[in-house]
Amino acid sequence: MATLTTRRFAEVDRLKAMSPGQLRALLLPHAAYLEARGVAISSSAATQVDLVRLSGVLMNPDESMPPRLVDALYLINEMATDEGMDALVEAVQQSGRSLVSGPTATPADVAVEVWLNWPDLLDRKHAENLITRPRSFEYFLGRADAPRKVPPENFAKRSALEKQLDDWFDDNRRGRGCRVLRFDRDARVWFLVRHGMPVKREGSMKDGRPDSVFYRPEKHDVVVYDAERDELGINASGRKEKKLYCQALGDHLFGNVDHFPGDKKYTLDPLKQDGANALVCSDVEGVEDVTLVELWFFHGGEYDDIEIRKASDVFAAMAVRDRTIPRMARLSRAVFSVKFASAPRARRFTVRPPNITQYTRDEDSELVEHWMLKRGFIRPLVTDSDATADETLASA
């Protein structure tokens, strides 16, 4: 349950974004709870909901708030955007259904209607929206180190995966009830993992007196399998979770918990070897310019010394001073500014060897990785024909 996210919906303006009829339909199943908290809910269109009082209830949820209401408000709030509305309208049309709300419906109205009629559809579109949000991934190369076929969907194996993850989350004080959603996109398979986090206790007010709220936050991790490179990209909070996903997805996809050992993917050596020539992008369609704007040198020693150079153009700034990157320097991080042909302004991305990249927008990754592969920032795949014998997927 998305506990306490109702606070995002506590602003009166957010509640006003829904038509009175939609809001009433959303709240009516929970009328008993709301009336006990001082908010009258009636099926009569002539009776208006007291939005200020409702906002106060949502601002201070108690332990008896219906989980279904919390989940509804969370998902509706997340999808009540222009992009969310477009995604929901398209999904409803593709399913052969139709919306009752007309052209004057707000994004919140559409989200409420979908929730009331097809809650699973709203849940899934929200999940699809979440997988595009993460900006930073850590990559773990597979043992095949060569292109593979996308593993087929298998619902029985997915249930086994959820149980395996649930056991780990439960043992590590994160509770049970995780869910794994899969989305296939060409040569990539995206897994959205919803699970709980360690419980929290927050101060609150109840009946005018100080109190506390005890709850378990919800977390969404994203794991992407790229069949063309046989690698796993993970967006999760800690090392233990990333190790869990490497082992669990290795077992789930290929029957081998050690399939993703985490070998090095990125290197910044081209900056030392080729200087500014390492930033050439004329052979990558869609990329107009790449500039190095930040570079970290790790000197280590007793005090873990790190030197950071920043400039609008690091190579140009170094050239003015007749300097170059020392051949023996250990480069631990680089930040680049990239101008895409389809974007009016340049955006930045960060490379942290051996396995981490961070993007301003996740959709930048495909073109940037193509450029990095051409310039040598990504270790090329070994496509030895002798390795094809290992290309058979684990049985479904």
| Cα–Cα distance, 80 to 101 (Å, whole number) | 14
pTM over 0.75: no
CB 95 within 8 A of CB 61: no
Phi, psi of 275 (to 5 degrees): 60, -140
Query: Which residues are CB-contacts of 37 (< 8 A; sequence separation ≥ 6)?
Result: 57, 62
Phi first, then psi, for residue 62 (nearest 5°) are -110, 180
Residue 330, pLDDT score: 92
Give the integer Cα–Cα distance in Å for 67 and 72: 9
- pLDDT at res. 5: 45
What 3-state class would DSSP assign to 194? strand
Phi/psi for 196 (5° steps) reads -85, 165
Q: Are 219 and 196 in contact (CB under 8 A)?
A: yes
What's the confidence (pLDDT) of residue 49? 87
**CA pair distance 188, 268, nearest whole angstrom:** 26
Structure tokens at 195: 């699970």
- Cα(212)–Cα(55) distance, integer angstroms: 19
Q: Report how far Cα 386 is from the mean position of its chain's Cα atoms.
A: 37
Return the pLDDT at 34.
92
Q: What is the pLDDT along the chain (396 residues), one digit of tens a residue?
A: 343 344 445 556 677 788 888 899 999 999 999 999 888 998 787 778 888 788 778 766 777 888 888 888 888 888 888 888 999 999 999 999 999 888 888 899 999 999 999 999 998 888 877 766 656 789 998 887 667 888 888 888 899 999 999 999 999 999 999 999 888 887 889 898 989 999 888 787 777 788 777 778 888 898 999 998 889 999 898 889 999 999 999 999 999 999 998 768 899 999 999 999 999 999 999 999 999 999 999 988 888 899 999 999 999 999 999 998 988 889 999 999 999 998 888 999 999 999 999 887 767 888 999 999 999 999 876 544 333 333 333 333
Helix (H, G, I), strand (E, B) or coil at 273: helix
Q: What is the Cα–Cα distance from 387 to 382, expressed in whole angstroms?
A: 9
pLDDT at 261: 84
Residue 225: the pLDDT is: 93
Rounded CA separation 328/331 (Å): 9
* Secondary structure string (H, E, C) spanning 102-154: CCCCCHHHHHHHHHHHCHHHHHHHHHHHHCCCCCEEEEEECCCCCCCCCCCCC
